[in-house]
Amino acid sequence: MLKKKNREIIVGSNNKGKIKEIRELLPKSYKILTPNDFNLRGPKENGKSFVENSLIKAKYYSIKSGKICIADDSGLEIDYLDKAPGIFSARWGGRNGNFNIAIKKVFRELNKKDKEWRNKKIVARFVCALTICGLKEKPIHSLGIVQGSISNKKKGRNGFGYDPIFIPKSRTLTFAQMKPSKKYKIDHRFMAFKKIKKFFWIDCFQHYKNLIDELLHFY
């Protein structure tokens, strides 16, 4: 009897928070792989935009692993800081990507700009660029954006990254104060994923069609 074949896809990130969120978004029929499964370190991210960096990661991990790869590049843009930290969001946390350090830097930079910033609405947004590579076709891209503002202090214990200081528009809680199941339905990564989910339905359909063809041939 033929064994059921799992679809395999590598998530192009070593960030446990990102991997967890993307795992929740992908169809359950996929076996999720990570760079650790192949002992891979990340590539040099020298793109000038979220899209460019997501493409760099998706191509790199797809070539190195021989698998289809979905990779994202995401970050926080704060208008008051000329859209910083932007594509350098993770790097604001230092070499180890410590977001407690990054958040302190956000507050420090805002304080330099305006001592009274805590009494004002600081407009910000989360941006996520998703790219799928390893297909016969050209890479697939999508962009998800969630508008919001910066909290005047850290709030909440859930999520990761800048979640404790980001309040999405029309909400009163930070991402870190929300239940993960609720956050996943409104965050930037989900918005980006919605635009490319058609790929996964088509891919799964083709996969199961191939399985049926194999079974018919077998019998």
From first CA to last CA, the distance across the chain in angstroms is: 10
CB atoms within 10 A of CB 26: 17
pLDDT at residue 13 in the model: 93
The whole model's pTM is what? 0.85
Per-residue pLDDT of 17-62, as tens digits, reads: 889 888 888 888 789 999 999 999 999 999 999 999 999 999 999 9
- At 179, list the tokens: 């239940």
Find the domain containing 181 and state its range: 7-218
Q: Is residue 1 part of a domain?
A: no
pLDDT tens string 70-89? 999 999 999 999 999 999 99
Q: Which residue has the higher pLDDT, 81 or 202?
A: 81
Answer yes or no: is 206 within a domain.
yes
Give pLDDT, residue 35. 96
In this predicted structure, what is the pLDDT of residue 82?
97
Q: Is 133 helix (H, G, I), strand (E, B) or coil?
A: strand
pLDDT band at 203 (very low <50, low <70, confident <90, very high): low
Q: Which is nearest to 99 in space by CA: 112, 111, 88, 110?
A: 88
Let me know if residue 2 belongs to a domain: no
| Distant-in-sequence, close-in-space partners of 95: CB < 8 Å, separation ≥ 6 | none
User: Would you call 114 a catalytic residue per the annotation?
Assistant: no
Is 36 inside a domain boundary? yes
The enclosing domain of 171 has a CATH number of 3.90.950.10
Kindly name the residue from 72, 73, 163, 203 that is annotated as catalytic.
73
The number of domains in the chain is 1
Antiparallel, parallel or unpaired: β 7-11 and 68-78: parallel
**Tokens standing for residue 171:** 């909400």
The dihedral over CA atoms of 21, 165, 114, 92, expressed in degrees to the nearest 10, equals -40
Percent of the chain clearing pLDDT 90 (strictly above): 70
Backbone φ and ψ of 124, nearest 5°: -150, 170
Mean pLDDT of 141-170: 96
